[in-house]
Structure formats: structure tokens, C-alpha cells
Amino acid sequence: MGRFFDNWAWAHRNARAWGMVVALAGMLAWTLWETSAERVEYRELTGQLLEVKGEDDLDKNALLVGRIQLPDGTEIKLILPPQQPHPKAGDTVPLIYERYDDGQAYYFFNTLSWVSNGGMP
């Protein structure tokens, strides 16, 4: 009877290992498929910071969310960087615009430019 349980435990361990191999292979295939979009446009631009939310919680390390107006009049919301000095409403902030061949467009706060310029508008 002891041999039965030994064989069962060995088979169960192998089945779990093969199941994990299949699951990880599926996740890898999904990741490669999801990240296949190529960037077709990259621009650095500036925007006007209209509003900052979360300023009251600076001592609690809260995330700051800014409402930014782009040069074409479009308004977007972005998470602002944690670096000091924090941008304030009315500041001109540096942004990065990226567009991909699948139609997705993203805006990012250009933290490198903000820090290298001393956080000045």
C-alpha cells in the first residue's frame, strides 16, 4: 500500500510541474502578443498645469494627480512625479507623447526634463 502512495505523490508532483510549464508558456505567448505594438511617433511637448489634486496629503506620501492642458486645448490627467519641488497649478510642465501602430496614444510626465531644469517652468 505504501508503494501506491509513493507513486501517486510522484505522479501528482509531475502533473503539477507540467501544468505550471503550460501556464507559463501561455503567459509568455500572451505577453509577446500584447507587446508587439511598435511606436510610430514620439514627441516632447509642454502643457499648462491647471489643477493639482492630493496636495493636502504631501506629508502622507500621496500621489499627486494633475490636470494638464495641452497646446491644442485638450485636457489630460497624469500622475505627477514625487520629486521635489512639486509642480504647482499654473506651471508649464514637460510631457512626452507616444503613439503606437495599434492606435494607442500615451502621455507621460517628462520627469528627466523636470528634474534637470530644476523643476522650473
Q: What is the pLDDT of residues 26-46, one digit of tens each?
A: 999 988 887 778 889 999 999
The structure's pTM equals: 0.64
Q: Is the pLDDT of residue 57 over 60?
A: no
Cell numbers for 52, please give them.
493639482
Mean pLDDT of the chain, nearest integer? 85
pLDDT at res. 45: 94
Helix (H, G, I), strand (E, B) or coil at 28: helix
pLDDT at res. 111: 87
Helix (H, G, I), strand (E, B) or coil at 59: helix
Spatial separation of the C-alpha atoms in residues 95 and 56, rounded to whole Å = 24
Question: Exposed, middle or buried, 100 (CB in 10 Å: 0-12/13-18/19+)?
Answer: middle
